[in-house]
Structure 1
Amino acid sequence: MTHLYVFIIGALLSLATPPLVAMETCPASGMPGIPGIPGLPGRDGRDGGQGQKGEPGAESRSAAGPQKGETGEPGMVGYPGKRGPSGEHGGAGGPGVGGAPGEPGDSGSGGVQQVAAFSVARGSDAWPDRNSVVLFTNVITNIQDDFNVETGRFRCRVPGTYYLVFHATLDERLCLLMKLDDQLLTQFCDHRHARTQVTSGGLAVYVSKDQEVWLETKDFHGMRGRPQGYSLFSGFLLHAH
């Protein structure tokens, strides 16, 4: 009986021994670790969807009724719009008020026939200089002094077509140039040798206002003026323009 008790106690001790050994061999707890580095901030999330329309606000029960809000600031000026289609043509307007009388104009020549003419003679027995304007000493006709005796030139006062002609008494050879403002109109030459003779020449030409016409000699200048036969230069207006 005693041996039985000893056996039971031994069995109980054998069952209790392993846990004690395991408890003695468990290592002790370690020191807490260093906290980790904070993570990077996360990205913003996506926009949420539009919420549902809210309910209308409650009607004001104030005795003054709904209140008008303050006037807002004017908006920016918009861009010009496209040009619209053209409208229909309007009717003719009534006559306007008459203007004030104008100043009197210059005296015109309407209804008045304009005339211009000259005829001059060379009454000198001397020959004119070579390569120079022929000068005339006697005035036969000179309307409004259009021909200048000192210069030997006719200055046009009435523009139009003129007939210009000369008659020369000569006993030597002669060459004459008829010029219009240094432009050669034509040349007349008579190289026949005779004791005394007469030569002439003329043409019709348009002359503008203030242009000048004259006769000019060349190397041959036998244009003399004697009482028995003057040398003449004449011109007259055929048609005013």
Structure 2
Amino acid sequence: MLLQHFIIIGFLLSLAVLLLVAMETCPSSGMPGIPGIPGLPGRDGRDGVKGDTGERGAQWSSSLGPQKGQRGDPGPRGHQGKLGQSGERGKPGSLGNIGLPGDPGEPGTVGLQQQAAFSVARGTTEFPDKASLIVFKQVITNINNDYNTNTGRFRCRVPGMYYFVFHASLEDKLCVLLKLDNKLLTSFCDHRRIKRHVTSGGLAVYVSRGQEVWLETKDYRGMTGRYTGYSIFSGFLLHPY
């Protein structure tokens, strides 16, 4: 009975093997099916267990000791940072030392244009008229003809501070008025009756361009002029402005 069972089981196994072989060797007669839709990505797996610490490296052994490695190449330059806020203004520094004098400049022509001076003499023995403008005819110095020998007036060409002065040879009493554009600046009087003596007077005053300066007599007019003693009127620029 047992033997029959083994025979039946062996037959069935042989039949099953033949069927399987037939299925693999026989070509399928149907068309391939449409590929299926890809499935969703699976989730990441869990982190693995941390590995064990590695063994310590061998210690450097050399008579020179530890050696510094070579310097690496510089990295790329970073972007420029934002401009920071301005700091507070610092206190003024201490005064520096005085510098050495510079070399003299080359001679220019401006100084020549800023010159003004005249000296004129009254070359006559006659007294000037009473209460009249005194005219000096003889020129001693007259830069750019600023003094007019016909009118007896000095006309300002270079504005600035001037000094005017007169020296008079007298044979009688004299009063002289110094005027600027008909404005009385000052008067000089000598009431002595000494024969042939000298008097003088002067004044510094600012004169603008185009203004005129002259001398006038008052009631006394004993000014004369001769080779033994001239009467002179002078003026010159002290400082231009």
| TM-score class, shorter | 0.5 to 0.7
Paired residues for 1:104-123 under 5 Å: 110=110, 114-123=114-123
The yes-or-no answer on 1:209 pairing with 2:232 is no
Residues 143 and 197 of structure 1, relative CA distance in 2, 3 Å threshold: same
Q: SS of the residue aligned with 1:210?
A: coil
> 1:234: which partner in 2?
234
RMSD: 1.5
Q: SS of the residue aligned with 2:223?
A: coil
Residues 112 and 175 of structure 1, relative CA distance in 2, 3 Å threshold: closer
Identity %: 66
Residues 113 and 191 of structure 1, relative CA distance in 2, 3 Å threshold: same
The yes-or-no answer on 1:127 pairing with 2:130 is no
Deviation for aligned residue 1:196: 1.0
The yes-or-no answer on 1:170 pairing with 2:170 is yes
> 1:147: which partner in 2?
147
Residues 127 and 209 of structure 1, relative CA distance in 2, 3 Å threshold: same
Deviation for aligned residue 1:135: 0.8
CA distances 1:89-137 after superposition (whole Å, capped 9, x unpaired): xxxxxxxxxxxxxxxxxxx975656100000000100000001000112
CA distances 1:144-170 after superposition (whole Å, capped 9, x unpaired): 000000000000000000000000000
Report the AA paired with residue 229 of structure 1: G
TM value normalised by structure 1? 0.54
The 2-side partners of 1:224 and 1:160 are apart by 31
Q: Would you identify which runs of 4 or more consecutive aligned residues in structure 1 move more than 4 Å?
A: 108-113
> 1:160: which partner in 2?
160
> 1:224: which partner in 2?
224
Q: SS of the residue aligned with 2:151?
A: coil
Residues 234 and 112 of structure 1, relative CA distance in 2, 3 Å threshold: closer
Deviation for aligned residue 1:226: 1.0
Report the AA paired with residue 119 of structure 2: S
Report the AA paired with residue 216 of structure 1: E
> 2:40: which partner in 1?
none
Q: SS of the residue aligned with 1:223?
A: strand
Paired residues for 1:7-86 under 5 Å: none
Report the AA paired with residue 207 of structure 2: V
Deviation for aligned residue 1:142: 0.3
Deviation for aligned residue 1:209: 0.1
Which consecutive unaligned segments of at least 5 residues does structure 1 have?
Answer: 1-107
